[in-house]
Copies of this chain bind each other. A is one copy, B any other.
Amino acid sequence: MSKLVEEFNEYRTKMNEVILSKDNLVMKRLWNLDTNTYEEGALDKKTKEMLGLVASMVLRCDDCIKYHLGKNHELGVTTKEVYEIFAVANIVGGTIVVPHTRRAAEYWEALEENGSAK
């Protein structure tokens, strides 16, 4: 598995555990709610994860982008589709989104390599 993907997931898991161990109820409930948000509803999971990705891109949150790229990959979003999401994000959010798109492109390549290596 690509080190980029692995490192992201490891740090995320480790720190989520630290946060949850403090028993802050608001944080816990927000995380549950976050999970519910992307569940099948009037919109399917794939559409919702694409919405999560574009929102993360225009807000320029690299880790959020990585997380949603992972989900998009799992749900079968194609490279052509992902780049159209990148395009919307870059037009709406401007060229300040470009550096985040570079890191997103790198992470997507890593996800693709992992996928074909399975």
Contact = CB atoms under 8 A, between A and B. Distances in A.
Copies in the complex: 6
Contacts of A109: 18
A2 interface: no
Interface residues of A, number: 65
23 contacts: A15-B105, A16-B102, A18-B106, A19-B101, A19-B105, A22-B79, A22-B105, A24-B83, A26-B36, A26-B37, A26-B91, A30-B87, A30-B90, A30-B95, A37-B88, A38-B88, A43-B81, A51-B85, A54-B55, A55-B57, A55-B89, A64-B99, A93-B94
Top 4 closest A-B pairs, CB basis? A94-B94, A63-B99, A15-B102, A26-B87
